[in-house]
Amino acid sequence: MTKLGAFVLAATLATATVATQPGCYGSYGAFSRLHDWNGKVSGDKWARSAIHLGLWIVPVYELLLLGDFLIFNQIEFITGENPFD
């Protein structure tokens, strides 16, 4: 199997797995709280925009999305309560 074929197969399996896991969907509380904080951090739209871009570059948003997806949404599904409320 070529590298492209292996990549396509892996991407298809990952998509099918995510699409068939109903318990994985949650409110994404950690990501939402950071995003809300970023909207209130300054009255200057340029500062908010720079902070937003910086949080994507430094991978803060990415890590929170991954944490929400793998951990926090599962806790919310099991307990019925959002850990960030």
In a domain, 75, yes or no: yes
In a domain, 71, yes or no: yes
Per-residue pLDDT at 23 exceeds 80: no
76, burial (CB in 10 Å: exposed 0-12, middle 13-18, buried 19+): buried
Phi/psi for 27 (5° steps) reads -90, -5
Domain of 43 in residue numbering reads as: 23-85
In a domain, 81, yes or no: yes
Query: Does residue 62 contact residue 72 with C-beta atoms inside 8 Å?
Result: no
pLDDT digits over 37-70, tens only?
999 998 889 999 999 999 999 999 999 988 888 8
Model-level pTM greater than 0.85? Answer: no
In a domain, 73, yes or no: yes
* Residue 19 confidence class, pLDDT cut points 50, 70, 90: low
In a domain, 4, yes or no: no
In a domain, 70, yes or no: yes
Cα separation, 3 vs 7, in Å, equals 6
Cα separation, 72 vs 48, in Å, equals 26
Q: Domains in the chain: how many in total?
A: 1
In a domain, 55, yes or no: yes
In a domain, 80, yes or no: yes
Residue type, 10: A
pLDDT of residue 59: 93
Look over the chain and give the mean of its residue pLDDT values, rounded to a whole number.
Answer: 84
